[in-house]
Structure 1
């Protein structure tokens, strides 16, 4: 019986080692760019408390999806229509100067007394350069009579912020982002713009584990809770 007993012990030791290594396995998560660094730090701290080694990679929506498809990350925060999201974040327009009430796009239409080049421009961040946000905004701008160049996708938040601080330009942001950047935020009357975020994982077991470990902190980093609401998924 000695040899079978040794085999059982070795098998038990191997199993325990595999369990330990699984708990220490790094899990790479692709998150949106522009999140507050302290809020992302809270996400990492929560993962450590849950016994996980989480590695965060900031990227734009198409890049996040590609990283997951190519196996470069095990999970991503996907940009989806609001009804399909785990979380939703309401968007509006932010600028250097406050605007009373809701902003109507036709209020930004060039007047006959000022050239179109002096009219306020609306900057859309790369994070929102997705069909379910970009297309309704561009269609509404055309219906409101805005010039073709008045709404454009900016290269970065820094570029948009520079334009906003130097002019009457506006940038599409959440209220959470606007407050963080000390900008005046107003709701957009039409169209309603809502970011939807869904946590998608290559392995189903990682999905439940991640939600339990960092769901609250990740929602805060995405801006859920301020000008936001829970999404359509349970």
Structure 2
């Protein structure tokens, strides 16, 4: 049924039995037989064969979309089957600013013999997939005391900063309309980071609008590059984004990550140890 549906879809899309057969790499007589067998199985003609050009019957037009869906579902099943046979592990990581470092992490894992696909994903997606999807390891946000990897946080800017940033210094001067905001990307929209910074903001009598949560790291970085705003991030992340990083004077903030799904991943202990080290390099790479 799938082969016949694929032949029907290809012929329909190419408006030709000859071109449709070539598109899927099957001899034209075989394609013709498969379409005819599909029509016999379904009980009605799908294609009007009068003339050179292929024209779908009304029945064929109705069945074209379901046939496409069947072909796509079969292709997806084959893809998942190949991944399972090859024991591919999907590693979901946070967005730290550049695709190069994601590629380096994937290359290092493959060089060590681990069949790993590394993908950047948002925090909520990582949390869901790490607990529900087989052969998936997801770096999920956890408090520092429960973390396998810890990442120090501070403030970064496009321009110069003092050696240590006092959040109190961000309080707007009386009568001034200039407001410096601290931007959090989605990675830091978690209680052990966001709430601590919110309490500090309130204790220092800063404006509520001076702590802002962006929809993405790109959005947060754009605000920082375009003015005097600051980005909450790690030293390595600041370096990758071309920003200057400094610690916060009033409190210490840390991102924590744990590997959800790691126990079920088909990795040997040596590969797990290698991956742990490479992930630490990805999260805490040396700033330049």
Considering the TM-score relative to the shorter chain, is it more than 0.5? yes
Q: Deviations over 1:156-175 (max 9, x none)?
A: 22212221122211010111
Aligned counterpart for 1:27 among listed residues 85, 89, 109: 89
RMSD: 2.3
Structure whose residues are more often strand by fraction: 1
Structure 2 counterpart SS, 1:64: helix
Structure whose residues are more often helix by fraction: 2
Partner residue in 1 for 2:8: none
- Which of 118-127 and 51-60 deviates more? 51-60
Mapped partners of 1:47, 1:161: distance in 2: 29
Q: How does 1:148-163 map to 2 (within 5 A)?
A: 148-163=208-223
| CA separation of 1:182 and 1:202: change in aligned 2, threshold 3 A | closer
8 Å CA contact retained: 1:39, 1:217: no
8 Å CA contact retained: 1:31, 1:77: yes
Task: Specify every segment of 5 or more residues in structure 1 that has no aligned partner in the other structure, as ranges.
Answer: 1-20, 228-234
Q: Deviations over 1:40-67 (max 9, x none)?
A: 2222223223332211221122210101
Bigger radius of gyration among the two: 2
TM-score w.r.t. the length of structure 1 is 0.79
Cα offset, 1:23, TM superposition: 8.1
| CA separation of 1:24 and 1:72: change in aligned 2, threshold 3 A | closer
Partner residue in 2 for 1:107: 169
Task: Specify every segment of 5 or more residues in structure 2 that has no aligned partner in the other structure, as ranges.
Answer: 1-82
Q: Post-superposition, which runs of at least 4 consecutive aligned residues in structure 1 deviate over 6 A?
A: none
Structure 1 counterpart SS, 2:209: coil
8 Å CA contact retained: 2:126, 2:139: yes
Q: How does 1:22-171 map to 2 (within 5 A)?
A: 24-71=86-133, 74-115=136-177, 118-171=178-231
| CA separation of 1:55 and 1:39: change in aligned 2, threshold 3 A | same
- Which of 61-70 and 210-219 deviates more? 210-219
8 Å CA contact retained: 2:139, 2:258: yes
